[in-house]
A and B are shown apart, each in its own frame.
Chain A
Amino acid sequence: MTQKPRQKPKMTRKSKRLVLIAGGLAFVGLAVALVMTAFEDSVVFFFSPSELAAKPTDPDRRIRIGGLVEDGSVSTGPGEGEVRFRVTDGGATLPVVYVGILPDLFREGQGVVAQGSLVGEIFKADEVLAKHDETYMPPEVAKALKEQGHWQEGAEGATKKVPGS
């Protein structure tokens, strides 16, 4: 065999493989995108109070809700070990009642995700998780920002995920 006839089919095989791989990848990507769109609701980890208000669910279904713990809304009682607080996303607000241990990051103005079910107008949670935002800074910096009035409480962490986004 001479060089030339060997060289030519080798090139086409190479580009054939290239097209095959690119086509295969595009196909897989498309399939995954379709699946993810179809299962949108199950991929979503929690609903915001506004989403919940817009799309009422069965009262007994266990769901997760998330948002910011409204400032000044945390109180204990009246029941044994009960904690009550309101979760807000800037639009709607949902009162939550919970019995159990709160995570260390749970505080007013910070993100929270609660699992439970809607009983009447109140969300009865059996699990409360704190959501952290993407801001990292030393306490002194946070204090200085607050003093200078540059502070936006939980500005982008949890409120960003309001419906429509």
Chain B
Amino acid sequence: MSGFGPVLAYLTSLAVALILRLIALPEALAALRPLWLPMVLAYWALNAPERPNLLAALLLGLICDALSDSALGAHALAFLLVAYASARLRPTLALVPWWQATLALAPVWAGYAAVMTGLDALAHHPAEAVLRWLPVAVTTAAWPLVCRLLQRLAATEQMN
């Protein structure tokens, strides 16, 4: 697991997730944007617990806060919760088939949305509920695909 390849896969996946989050989408599609960063963070928390996933969550959260002009620490806190919850779910999810894992992770995304909604209210900057909760469904649907892609990426990097 050690070496340059896996580290590159780790960093690449996080960077791509960040860029996918930032890319401008038409307004109709923007509400359907999956939670790319929580997904990738959850994947690494589930598959590579020895990586500094919590630290990555904090730093990426701060970056998102700076770029999206939310209160500094809001995304960081929510990402940390996702990474932590996924890490705690790891022993359970390792034993169940992929579709059960997909369903079991839905509450994690919902928790992320709930934390962000709460922090929005705290910062007196309420977002539309649909924009917060619709991505939960989209993320759940996208999880198996993203999971498979990341596995492929990690495998190729390891071969190299």
Answer yes or no: do A and B interact.
no
